Structure 1
């Protein structure tokens, strides 16, 4: 889904087999509704929007690829429970201080792409 107008994830429970969710340029600010598709979701793209709160993403244990670039995210700690991660893209957010221990990358044995900050 592209180009503004969607302020929240609603009705996700109807997508019982959804493995990839791609949303761009929307007004979504949180991910709490992901609990409805947590058991199947493997790839998540919520980019170029207003996303601030990652609470709820930790329930998506099967997530392998997460793209959350160009948002308003300040706290990346909910990502620390995603041990299946292979790709994480967080560039261009409002994260001021982020350490490897906060992300708990140590549990992500499969991580092979990690994009955290905007170029200098």
Structure 2
């Protein structure tokens, strides 16, 4: 198989596709569907200081690294990769508002508590099996929209019980799996 695309190569392609735009000045950078796929995030990402939305979906990335310099990042899309944990996400704790990380291999949510502004978490179709892990989301007071279906934790629970259990654990949640939740005020 051919060797993986590096972040540097992907950014060079992005620049060519965007009429020579400088990625360090861009607010929205789309690096999904690279061929050959990106296998590793690296420190090159920290040069993207103006970036507010970064997509690295549908690659072969297994770890979150190299994002500590991305001081303006609000939306990070890492769906459809091989990521096993949220380690490395902590450096985005003050800015990240949306994390799209469905279809990975995440089984632990350690690190999510550092995301002080997170409003949207799409983490469906991962490997979360325990309510103890799910409960880490309780420390994210700003969370409003959660996509969680497809995790082993909820495979054998009926929908009504599932929704009730999630609402009990995350009472401020407004949207679950794409559906608006009724609150006491409604």
Please indicate the TM-score interval, normalised by the length of the shorter structure: 0.7 to 0.9
Q: State how far apart, in whole Å, the 2-side matches of 1:3 and 1:44 are.
A: 15
TM-score by length of 1: 0.83
- Report which of the two structures shows the higher radius of gyration computed on alpha carbons: 2
Q: CA deviation at 1:100?
A: 4.0
Using CA pairs below 8 Å that are at least 6 residues apart, which structure has the higher relative contact order? 1
> Cα offset for 1:101?
7.5
1:102 deviates by: 7.0
Which stretches in structure 1 are left out of the alignment for 5+ residues?
Answer: none
**C-alpha separation in 1, matches of 2:98 and 2:166:** 22
The number of residue pairs the alignment matches comes to: 112
Tell me how far apart the structure 2 counterparts of residues 48 and 15 of structure 1 sit (CA, whole Å). Answer: 24
Q: What is residue 146 of structure 2 aligned with on the other side?
A: 88
In the alignment, structure 2 segments of 5+ residues that lack a partner are 1-55, 179-186
Structure 1: 4+ residue segments shifted above 4 A: none
SS at match of 1:95: helix
The structure richer in helix per residue is 2
Change (3 A) 1:36 1:114: same
Q: Distance in 1 between matches of 2:140 and 2:57?
A: 26
RMSD of equivalent CA atoms: 2.0
Distance 1:4 1:40 in 2: 24
- Does the aligned pair in 2 maintain the 1:77–1:102 contact within 8 Å? no
Shift of 1:2: 2.5
Q: Secondary structure at the match of 2:88?
A: helix
Structure 2 length-normalised TM: 0.55
CA distance in 1, matches of 2:59, 2:168: 31
Q: For residues 1-120 of structure 1, what are the structure 2 equivalents within 5 Å?
A: 1-74=56-129, 75-96=133-154, 99-100=165-166, 103=169, 105-106=170-171, 108=172, 111-115=173-177
1:40: how far off? 0.3
- Residues 42-98 of structure 1 deviation map (CA, whole Å, 9 limit, x = unaligned): 011001111111100011010011100111112311101111111011000011577
